Structure 1
């Protein structure tokens, strides 16, 4: 056997991850909201094109069976209009402009009420402002009264008197130092602080959370029904009174795809009207056409123009992929759209990939963080990919439809004798669905339904 070094020529095929390909993959997995942010970042880096806000209006358009050839130079560099438009019939109407956004913080809300307390001395008002400033986002006092009195240089009883006044402010339960005190403050506000419920909140709150009603009844000296009524009352209280003033940015879900029923058919519409339009900057367009422009400047503009063209191609490819994937999902889940969630079929990404002729990873990216508006509501595209459970007839049913069946059985149960996980498993087996007790418990917990012991009514 001869061994030695040598040079050989060999032809191989391999996929090269170019920046353009990486960009197309990145754009495909963006949701509608994230895509807008990405385009804004690209516009900041590429001066050749600008973004024009498009109207957020649902403009139905029929899906074309055969997509025509696209002239990308015309798309990105239309000399007549100078813009790339993602939709027609745009208007300036934006429904998000009419959403109310409160700006008052918990500190401002409490300080405004502090202005109505005329009996406070300047020193007491200073203590009140200090205590209000040390409330966390849930409305609880973060520091102890001893620490507050020491920092303010006042007596402990002075700080306690001011705290009592603040605890009468709106919202009820604010400035509490523990969950027990927060609930007691709300009970006093409602004039429902009888001796029994105060004892339950003070000493048996954990037993109440674990639904150990008989144990609480024996210690408090009342019936189990009375303890359960106390639990029902406490569930109506707010354990986080300051949360209503926590201004967290609300992220609204904008559907990427819309499915509309027209006659007996379902039409798939890609909601790209929310995507800003790409427009060529007229200044750079003139520089490109000028003969006196420097070669370096022209080369720079050409590079940025090519980048803009690739961006437009990626946007169009994303639109076509979303349309094809959603149409395949609609075709396979036709019974769901016609008859409801109980007819949702088990489906995998591999099946959709084979149907549309794409790789499974592409299907995963195309359905990631995407939402579809259907006649039956708003769903995440991943919702339609469910695992299969076997039935007595040898057929398969989706896990999501089984979850809905479990929820329906629990909703119809006798609250005095709730159905256990084993009983639910047996009832589903009678309907032809083979499922174990552990799987029933798993699905029940995923739907945030408590166990039969905690659902029992006395």
Structure 2
């Protein structure tokens, strides 16, 4: 056996993740909103790229296997026109232009109301602004009155007097120091703070949350029906009065694909409305054609042009992939589009991958964070991928349709005798759907429906 060292030549095949391939994969994963931000970043980094804000209209595409041949050399030669796609029609419509921007903060809202209060001294206004500035996002006071008095050099009575004024501001309940106080302030404002409900708020909120109405009735000295009425009233109050003015980042949903029904056929349209159109700067094209340009400058411009070209190809590939995947989903879920969610079929990403001749990971990226607008509403593309449950007839039912059936049965139940998870399982079995009690409980919790004990009415 030869154990010596030596030099040998052999051929191997391996996949190399080039920057261009990584960019194409990244673009495929982006939603419509994220793609706009990404294109703006690329335009900032690449001086050759220009973005034209006027959007492109959606091009209707029939349910046929696309056979699009794109001449990228022609696109480069026509880069002065700025068009990287075959679509010519333009539209100035941008859905984000019609989104309301909520800029009023809780501090601004309360400060404005403070300006309407007459007769306050300078110290009282200072105390009020200090307390307003120490409210959390729920509208609760984070600081103790003793600490506020120490910091402002005021007496505890002065702090309490100003806080009492804030308690009358909108939204009612703002400035509370606990959930109990927040609820009591709202009850006082509505004139519903009788002794029994005040006692329930102060001592039995935990029992109320767990529907221990019998225990509360015995402690308070009233009937179970009265406790039920008090629970309904308290649940109608707002436990987080300041949440409406929270300045959290807003995420907008723009459908990446639209499905419309024309006569008896469903038409798939890729939504390019919100995406800026890619252009090539005419200035750099002229600079490249000048013979006086230095070799280093020409090389730089060539590199940037190639990068812009690859970006355009990646965008077009993303559009074609979304179109093909959505077409396959519409074809497989035709009954859903015709009749509703109860006809949603079990479907996996592997089935779609085989149908469109793509890898399963590509299907996952293409449907991630993507939304489709249909005649039945806006859905995430991953909504159509559901697991299956066996039926008595041997066919499969999607988990989503079973969830809707469970919800429908609960909505029709007698609230004085609500259906248990076991009873729901038996009722579904009578309809031919084999499902265990544990699975019913899982689906019910996913739909945020309480248990039968908490749904019971007295």
The corresponding residue for 1:55 is: 55
The corresponding residue for 2:188 is: 188
User: How many angstroms does 1:195 deviate by?
Assistant: 0.6
Please show how residues 417-432 of structure 1 align to structure 2 within 5 Å.
Answer: 417-432=417-432
User: After the TM superposition, which of the residue ranges 165-174 and 64-73 deviates more from structure 2?
Assistant: 64-73
Contact 1:54 1:276 in 2 (8 A): yes
User: After the TM superposition, which of the residue ranges 178-187 and 318-327 deviates more from structure 2?
Assistant: 318-327
The corresponding residue for 1:224 is: 224
The corresponding residue for 1:112 is: 112
For the aligned residues, what is the CA RMSD? 1.6
Contact 2:145 2:159 in 1 (8 A): yes
Matched, 1:281 2:281: yes
Please show how residues 53-452 of structure 1 align to structure 2 within 5 Å.
Answer: 53-55=53-55, 60=60, 62=62, 65-78=65-78, 81-84=81-84, 87-452=87-452
Contact 1:335 1:344 in 2 (8 A): yes
Contact 2:58 2:270 in 1 (8 A): no
User: After the TM superposition, which of the residue ranges 65-74 and 377-386 deviates more from structure 2?
Assistant: 65-74
TM-score of the two chains, using structure 2 as the length reference: 0.96
Change (3 A) 1:215 1:76: farther
Change (3 A) 1:338 1:124: same
Equivalenced residue count is 458
Distance of 1:47 and 1:3 partners within structure 2:
57
Contact 1:77 1:280 in 2 (8 A): no
Change (3 A) 1:57 1:168: farther
SS at match of 1:342: helix
Distance of 1:58 and 1:17 partners within structure 2:
32
Contact 2:60 2:267 in 1 (8 A): no
User: How many angstroms does 1:61 deviate by?
Assistant: 5.0
User: How many angstroms does 1:74 deviate by?
Assistant: 2.6
SS at match of 1:84: coil
Change (3 A) 1:258 1:82: closer
SS at match of 1:120: coil
The corresponding residue for 1:44 is: 44
User: After the TM superposition, which of the residue ranges 170-179 and 64-73 deviates more from structure 2?
Assistant: 64-73
SS at match of 2:259: strand
Change (3 A) 1:88 1:239: farther
Distance of 1:365 and 1:98 partners within structure 2:
29
User: How many angstroms does 1:273 deviate by?
Assistant: 2.6
User: After the TM superposition, which of the residue ranges 320-329 and 113-122 deviates more from structure 2?
Assistant: 113-122
User: How many angstroms does 1:57 deviate by?
Assistant: 5.5
Matched, 1:8 2:4: no
Distance of 1:381 and 1:79 partners within structure 2:
34
Distance of 1:384 and 1:64 partners within structure 2:
20
The corresponding residue for 1:31 is: 31
Instruction: Provide structure 2 residue ranges, at least 5 long, that are not aligned to the other structure.
Output: none
User: How many angstroms does 1:272 deviate by?
Assistant: 1.7
Contact 2:259 2:373 in 1 (8 A): yes
CA shift digits 1:207-232 (9 cap, x unpaired): 10111111100000001011010111
